[in-house]
Structures are given as C-alpha cells and as structure tokens.
Amino acid sequence: MTPRPNPAPNAQSRVMRAEDAAASFDPLRPRLIRMAYRMLGSVADAEDVVQDAFLRWLDVDRCAVREPALG
C-alpha cells in the first residue's frame, strides 16, 4: 500500500495565498466600499459587492497584476 500524500502543505499554501490576497486587498477595501456605496446607495450592498470582489481576487494570479488599485 502506498502512503497517501499529506494534504496539510497544500492547505497551508492556500492559507498563505489568502493572507497575501488580504494584505493587498484590505488597504483598498474602504475606498472600494465608498465607491460602491455611491453607486448602490446602500452600505450593506456596497459591503457585499466588495466582499464578492475580494473572493474573486483570491483566484487571480496576483503576480500578473502590476497595480491592484488600478485593476
């Protein structure tokens, strides 16, 4: 019987990528919420839209993005 690979390194890698994503996204969050609020007129909707954007940001190849604030 062959040993199964340990899933922990992959999970740890996902956590590190999520932390990197948050580190680059979080400073922009207040600005994004203000912009979304001006468009939507609701704080709750603005926060939801920005959270959706963050979830999409988790899947982006951030090495390919030169300036996250402009993207």
The tens digit of pLDDT for each residue in 50-70 reads: 999 999 999 988 888 888 787
Residues written for the chain = 71
The tens digit of pLDDT for each residue in 4-30 reads: 555 555 665 666 688 888 999 999 999
d(CA 60, CA 54): 10
**Residue 9: burial class (beta carbons within 10 Å; 0-12, 13-18, 19+):** exposed
The predicted model scores a pTM of 0.73
